[in-house]
Structure 1
Amino acid sequence: MKIDLTGKTAIVTGSTEGIGYGTALGLAQSGAEVVINGRTQEKVDHAVAKLKAAVPDAKVKGVAADVSTAKGCDTLVAAVPRADILVNNAGIFELKPFFDIPDEEWEHYFQTNVMSGVRLSRAYLKGMMERNWGRIVFLSSESGINIPPEMLHYGFTRTAVLGISRGLAKLAHGTGVTVNAVLPGPTLSEGVGHMIEKMAKESGKPVAQVEKEFVPSIRPTSIIERIASVEEVANMIVYACSPQASATTGAALRVDGGVVESII
């Protein structure tokens, strides 16, 4: 199967590193014109240069905007008024005890992980429906189903995203627009890498040992029994953005390594 997205414009939020960058790379390799987004110009410029080096003939644009705010979303939409593909990837996470999470932190997680996707979908979905083609993908997580007690504020936002993506898919019924959510399990992004390094420092164990023990200790139901690579998750997202995925909509597409104890 050859995915060809030539002529399509794809926005990937939070794409200067991790799953977002991996997705932007995969979309560029498939011929899409890609918009890299991040909070700082420096990181955006670095990611754009990195992607151009990896895919020399790629059409890549960078937009620095903090999409956790309404102003940041407006900045991105002003810079890119039309999109055929929107990947709502921007998100934050942290291991933190429930009793230590203040109100403002709950609000920050909601604005970043949920409202960024709501605002941008509101900006781009109508145009996709009018043109009768489009793809919106929300990044959720297996934590949206298996709510982790060690980061409740993260889990609840990923559950919310599942409801929004399903509802928007229904809103776009009968058109060539699909809306889906992708649910990664533990993935070795830069963010997870930093978290593992922190855990290693606190425990006094080598980083390699902590990484090896990470999945069996916090996600013992994993069938693959390892952390997934960024590319493995990005592959699912790129497929969901492809013409070949035209009959897949309103779905929760799991790339969780079998963590969720369900056959559907």
Structure 2
Amino acid sequence: MNFHLEGKRALVTGSTGGIGFATALGLAMEGAEVVINGRTPARVEAASQRIRDAVPGAQVRSVAADLSSADGCNALIQSVPDLDVLINNVGIFEPKTFEAIDDADWLRFFETNVMSGVRLSRHYLMGMRARDWGRIVFVSSESALQIPPEMIHYGMTKTAQLAIARGLAETTAGTGITVNSVLPGPTRSEGVATFVERLAQERGIDFAAMEREFFASARPSSLLQRFATVEEVANMIVYVCSTAASATNGAALRVDGGIVRAIA
């Protein structure tokens, strides 16, 4: 299947590692010009070079900008004024009891996980409307549907992303623009792998044993019964960005390993 992304410019926020990097690599393999984003120039350039090495002839741009603030989003927009594809992937998470989440934490999570996507979508949607073609994807989480009690502030932001994506999609009716959400389940990204490995070390067991314990106790409804790979999630994101997915709009697409016990 040809996804017809040749010549399309795609920005993946938070793409120096994890799902973001795998998505950027997948888009580059489909011929898209890819903009890599992260907070530090060194990590951004390293990720860009990894894609150039993996995909000879790939068109890759590097933009270091902290998207947790309006100034950071504006800096990115000034560097890349126009896009065909926007992947709102940047996000933060941390386990924390509800009583310990102060106002600053709530605002920090909302600014990074929600407002970055709002600010970027608001700008880039204008160009998409002018060309009557575009793709916006919010990388949410199964935590949007099953709020994790150990990080309610994170779950709140993921639910907010679904509302924004669906609302934006409603404004694109009858156009060549689509706005969708992708909901990964537990995924072996850089941050998650480090967290699980630390827990395993504390308990004196290996990663595989810790993984089995996690799914037995914390996510027993998983049908996959393992962490998804970042590539498995990226495959869905890249597809949604393609011309092949032109009839998919306003959808919340789960790549959750069957954790959410729902038919629809």
Q: What TM bracket, shorter-length normalisation?
A: over 0.9
Which residue matches 1:78?
78
- Structure 2 Cα separation of the partners of residues 238 and 207 of structure 1: 29
- Structure 2 Cα separation of the partners of residues 227 and 208 of structure 1: 10
1:1-264 matches, within 5 Å, as: 1-264=1-264
Task: Kindly provide the amino acid, as one letter, of the partner of residue 230 in structure 1.
Answer: V
- Structure 2 Cα separation of the partners of residues 106 and 201 of structure 1: 30
- Structure 2 Cα separation of the partners of residues 130 and 2 of structure 1: 25
Task: Kindly provide the amino acid, as one letter, of the partner of residue 94 in structure 1.
Answer: E
Percent identical pairs in the alignment equals 61
Task: Kindly provide the amino acid, as one letter, of the partner of residue 117 in structure 1.
Answer: G
Aligned-pair CA distance for 1:208: 2.9
1:22-61, Cα deviation, whole Å (9 max, x unpaired):
0000000000000000000010011011111111110000
Match of 1:122, SS? helix
Match of 1:149, SS? coil
Task: Kindly provide the amino acid, as one letter, of the partner of residue 5 in structure 2.
Answer: L
- Structure 1 Cα separation of the partners of residues 218 and 51 of structure 2: 33
1:213-245, Cα deviation, whole Å (9 max, x unpaired):
222221110111111000000000000000000
- Structure 2 Cα separation of the partners of residues 240 and 214 of structure 1: 30
- Structure 1 Cα separation of the partners of residues 69 and 177 of structure 2: 26
Task: Kindly provide the amino acid, as one letter, of the partner of residue 17 in structure 1.
Answer: G
Aligned-pair CA distance for 1:86: 0.1
Aligned-pair CA distance for 1:171: 1.0
- Structure 1 Cα separation of the partners of residues 13 and 114 of structure 2: 12
Task: Kindly provide the amino acid, as one letter, of the partner of residue 158 in structure 1.
Answer: K
- Structure 2 Cα separation of the partners of residues 208 and 243 of structure 1: 38
1:235-257, Cα deviation, whole Å (9 max, x unpaired):
00000000000010000000000
Q: Which runs of 5+ in 1 are unaligned?
A: none
Over the residues paired in the alignment, what is the CA RMSD in angstroms? 0.9
- Structure 1 Cα separation of the partners of residues 239 and 202 of structure 2: 39
Aligned-pair CA distance for 1:99: 1.1
Match of 1:150, SS? coil
- Structure 1 Cα separation of the partners of residues 244 and 131 of structure 2: 18
Aligned-pair CA distance for 1:100: 1.2
Task: Kindly provide the amino acid, as one letter, of the partner of residue 228 in structure 1.
Answer: A
Task: Kindly provide the amino acid, as one letter, of the partner of residue 144 in structure 2.
Answer: G
- Structure 2 Cα separation of the partners of residues 153 and 203 of structure 1: 27
Q: Which runs of 5+ in 2 are unaligned?
A: none
Aligned-pair CA distance for 1:209: 1.5
Match of 1:61, SS? strand
- Structure 2 Cα separation of the partners of residues 134 and 67 of structure 1: 21
Aligned-pair CA distance for 1:195: 1.0
The question of whether the paired residues in 2 share the 8 Å contact of 1:186 and 1:215 is answered with no
- Structure 2 Cα separation of the partners of residues 226 and 197 of structure 1: 14
